[in-house]
């Protein structure tokens, strides 16, 4: 027998899937169509500061990537190709994600365990933000511009639950903050924040 809570969650999920389908239906024909998949080379380059080896979250943060601050805004649209991307300094990296940048553009590639249920922009401007499948990594690319004034947060949720239930759990949270006057954005990633 399902508990009352389970019942409510089940109702929620049913409602959510209905709404997801609806949301998808509304999205036909809008911008960003046809952006190519990421070149494998760009992904392979993400072994610098943005990538983490070993287990557990890094507690001592890295310095912000001031190089990105030196680059003036280049485009209102995200790069089509990520060739030439360099590792992006992530103050608080996660082993679930790797990060590169190309000029002012950041691409955070996250591969949380499980089926990605959805990705959401929780805070900040949607301008230029793009979420793409990362087939090679079995995850998703989170692409966004880094501009002064940013207070952006992106959440990646995965499907969880067991037996007769399907649930959505927060798996990755990417926070990008670039307050006025700061030399560079501060990017913090929490992987599997349970």
Partner 1 sequence: MVVDAERVLVTVRDPGLVLVMRPDAAAGLVETARIPVAADAFGIALTPDRARALVTSAWTHTVSAVDLAANKVVFSLDVPREPRGVVVSPDGKRAYVTHLTLPELTRMDDLNGAGRVTKVPFAVAPLRSREAAPEAATLAYTGVLSPDGARLFVPRRALSGDGKRPWAGQPVVDVLLTGDDSSLAQPPTGRLPGYTTKELEEARTFGTGRGPFADLTFGGGFPIASEAFIQPRAAVYRSSTRTLLVASEGTDAVVELDALAIEPGAHVLRRHPLRGRTWSPKAGLERALVIGRVDGSLYRIETEDGQGPLARDETGLLNNASSGILIGIERRKSPPAEMVIRQVMPDDSPGETMCGAPTGLALSVDERTAWVLCRTTLGVAEISLEPDKDLARAQRISPRVLKLEDDPLPAEAALGRRLYFNASDGTLSGGFACAGCHPEGRDDGHVWQELTDSQDEERNDPKSEPCATYLATPTLPFFFPFVGTNFVGTPMQYGYTRQTPMLAGLLAAKGPFGWKGRSPDLPSRVMRGSSLHGWNLPEQFCGASNMKARALALAAFARAGLFNPPRDERPLTAEEERGKAVFADSKTGCQTCHVPATGYTDRSVVPFAESPLVFEKSGPVKRYEPEKDRMFKTPSLLFVGGTAPYFHDGTAATLEELIDKNRDRMGKTSHLSADDKKALAAFLRTL
DSSP character for 80?
A: S
Site string for partner 1, 115-154 (x = CB under 8 A): xx-xxxxxxxxxx-xxxxx-----xx----------xxx-
Stretch that binds partner 1, among 67-75, 80-88, 97-105, 183-191 (CB under 8 A): 183-191
Q: Which is nearer to partner 1, 72 or 162 (CB)?
A: 162
Q: Is 25 in the site for partner 1 (CB under 8 A)?
A: yes
Nearest to 129 by CA among 108, 144, 149: 144
What is the token pair recorded at 175? 């926070």
Among 45, 82, 89, 92, the residue binding partner 1 under the rule CB under 8 A is 92
Q: Is 56 in the site for partner 1 (CB under 8 A)?
A: yes
CA 77 to the chain's CA centroid:
17
Q: Which is nearer to partner 1, 105 or 131 (CB)?
A: 131
Nearest to 96 by CA among 191, 193, 194: 191
Indicate the SS3 state at residue 13.
helix
Of residues 26 through 55, those in contact with partner 1 by CB under 8 A are: 26-34
Of residues 60 through 89, those in contact with partner 1 by CB under 8 A are: 60-61
Q: Is 170 in the site for partner 1 (CB under 8 A)?
A: yes
CB-count burial class (<10 Å; 0-12, 13-18, 19+) for 141: buried
CA angle, 28 then 120 then 114, to 5°: 100
Q: Which is nearer to partner 1, 84 or 137 (CB)?
A: 137
């Amino acid at each position: 027998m399902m508990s009352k809570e389970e019942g409510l969650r089940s109702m929620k999920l049913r409602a959510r899937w209905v709404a997801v389908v609806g949301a998808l239906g509304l999205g036909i024909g809008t911008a960003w169509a046809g952006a190519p998949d990421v070149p494998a080379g760009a992904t392979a380059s993400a072994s610098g500061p943005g990538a983490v080896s070993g287990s557990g979250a890094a507690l001592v943060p890295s310095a912000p990537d001031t190089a990105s601050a030196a680059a003036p805004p280049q485009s209102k649209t995200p790069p089509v190709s990520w060739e030439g991307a360099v590792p992006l300094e992530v103050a608080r990296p996660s082993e679930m994600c790797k990060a590169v940048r190309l000029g002012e553009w950041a691409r955070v590639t996250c591969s949380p365990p499980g089926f990605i249920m959805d990705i959401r922009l929780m805070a900040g401007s949607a301008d230029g933000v793009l979420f793409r499948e990362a087939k090679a990594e079995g995850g998703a690319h989170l692409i966004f511009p880094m501009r002064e004034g940013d207070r952006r947060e992106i959440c990646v949720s995965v499907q969880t639950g067991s037996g007769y239930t399907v649930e959505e759990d927060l798996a990755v949270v990417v926070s990008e903050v670039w307050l006025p006057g700061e030399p560079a954005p501060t990017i913090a990633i929490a992987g599997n924040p349970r």
